[in-house]
């Protein structure tokens, strides 16, 4: 078996940028990356990183159920993800088991259920590869409109409820005593995260969606000293890494989703190095 060598041709960049599907993909990457970074900012502080992973895996089950029932999977996915997120939230709150262990059980079982259900499907025109790793190059203008609207809704809700979100993240009782409707906001955030995962999974894939939520936010957390800056840096890093990853993928013919995640990882490493150097300088002075 031979190794395929990726070909990088800088002269191809204008040609890559000129193709309509690549233009849609770049815009989709920018919006999805920004959305992931924005929601991830709160998800990582609330230790919901694993929750987004479980949601991603459950999305595969939702898609498969849609195929089996003969319904368009994209129509099934959002209600499925929301119901799944609400059920998991109830389970986590009522169970006396550690959250990470419980979420591990849930996402392994979802994945196993989805693979078993897929084995009952004769053929799926989308292909399992696309489900797992996404197909951002196949993103349509309608998809872009949905993701753009979702970004606007998320941004408006999180900014209007910033005080509630931060206090809830710090200490639920402190937030409750300060007049924050903790139960309502906790649920609203989880539903929003579920919808974002469900909408983004087509472009990013079930295996890589949690990277879009977790990695830019972790990098932003290392770099920021003020909360609005943290939200901005995480969102910008999410969008910028997606753009760079997609361009690299377009120039090298490597898969798009994994290329974006590798760029995110490189961004995270840079943020880590920068924050450590800053800490050393701070302690030296």
Which spans of this chain sit near another protein (rule: CB under 8 A)?
45, 47, 159-164, 166-167, 170-174, 176-180, 220-222, 224-230
Instruction: For another protein, give the closer residue by CB, 180 or 247.
Output: 180
Residue 226 CB, shortest distance to another protein, in Å, is 6
Nearer to another protein, 80 or 230 (CB): 230
Residue 59: closest CA among 193, 189, 197: 197
Nearest to 244 by CA among 37, 30, 32: 30
Instruction: Measure CA 106 to chain center.
Output: 18
Q: Which helix (H) or strand (E) holds 40?
A: helix 20-45
Nearer to another protein, 112 or 229 (CB): 229
Q: C-beta of 161: minimal distance to another protein in Å?
A: 6
Among residues 183, 254, 194, 244, the alpha carbon closest in space to that of 216 is found at: 244
Question: 205 with 227: CB under 8 angstroms?
Answer: no
Residue 138 Cβ vs another protein, minimum distance, rounded to whole Å? 36
| Shortest separation between residue 170's beta carbon and another protein, angstroms | 5
Query: Closest approach of Cβ 44 to another protein, in Å?
Result: 9
Q: Which CA distances in Å does 275 have to 13, 74, 163, 250, 264? A: 33, 41, 26, 31, 16
Q: How many CB atoms lie within 10 A of CB 272?
A: 14
Q: Write down the least CB distance from residue 18 to another protein, Å.
A: 40
Nearer to another protein, 140 or 163 (CB): 163
Residues 6+ apart with CB under 8 A from 157: 188, 192
Between CA 220 and CA 159 the distance in angstroms is 17
| Choice between 75 and 178, CB closer to another protein | 178
From the CB of 135, what's the least distance to another protein, in Å? Answer: 34
Nearer to another protein, 58 or 224 (CB): 224
Locate tokens 């955030």: which residue?
Answer: 189
Question: In whole angstroms, what is the distance from residue 163 CA to residue 175 CA?
Answer: 9
Residue 145 or 160: the one with the smaller Cβ distance to another protein is 160
Q: What's the Cα-to-Cα distance from 81 to each of 19, 106, 146, 274, rounded to whole Å?
A: 33, 13, 16, 37
């Amino acid at each position: 078996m031979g190794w395929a060598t990726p070909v990088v041709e800088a002269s191809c960049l204008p040609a890559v940028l000129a193709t309509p599907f690549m233009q849609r993909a770049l815009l989709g990457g920018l919006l999805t990356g920004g959305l992931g970074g924005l929601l991830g900012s709160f998800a990582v502080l609330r230790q919901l990183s694993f929750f987004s992973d479980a949601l991603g895996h459950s999305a595969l089950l939702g898609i498969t159920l849609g195929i089996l029932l003969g319904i368009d999977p994209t129509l099934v996915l959002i209600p499925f993800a929301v119901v799944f997120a609400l059920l998991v939230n109830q389970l986590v709150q009522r169970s006396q088991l550690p959250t990470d262990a419980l979420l591990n059980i849930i996402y392994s079982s979802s994945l196993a259920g989805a693979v078993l259900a897929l084995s009952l499907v004769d053929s799926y025109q989308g292909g399992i590869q696309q489900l797992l790793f996404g197909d951002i190059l196949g993103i349509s203008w309608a998809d872009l409109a949905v993701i753009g609207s979702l970004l606007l809704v998320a941004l408006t809700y999180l900014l209007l409820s910033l005080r509630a979100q931060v206090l809830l993240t710090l200490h639920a009782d402190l937030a409750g005593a300060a007049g924050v409707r903790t139960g309502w906001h906790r649920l609203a955030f989880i539903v929003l995260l579920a919808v974002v995962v469900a909408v983004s999974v087509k472009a990013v894939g079930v295996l890589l969606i949690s990277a879009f939520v977790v990695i830019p936010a972790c990098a932003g957390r290392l770099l920021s000293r003020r909360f609005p800056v943290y939200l901005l840096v995480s969102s910008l890093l999410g969008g910028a890494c997606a753009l760079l990853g997609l361009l690299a993928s377009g120039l090298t013919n490597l898969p798009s989703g994994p290329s974006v995640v590798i760029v995110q990882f490189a961004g995270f490493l840079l943020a880590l190095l920068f924050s450590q150097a800053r800490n050393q300088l701070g302690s030296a002075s």
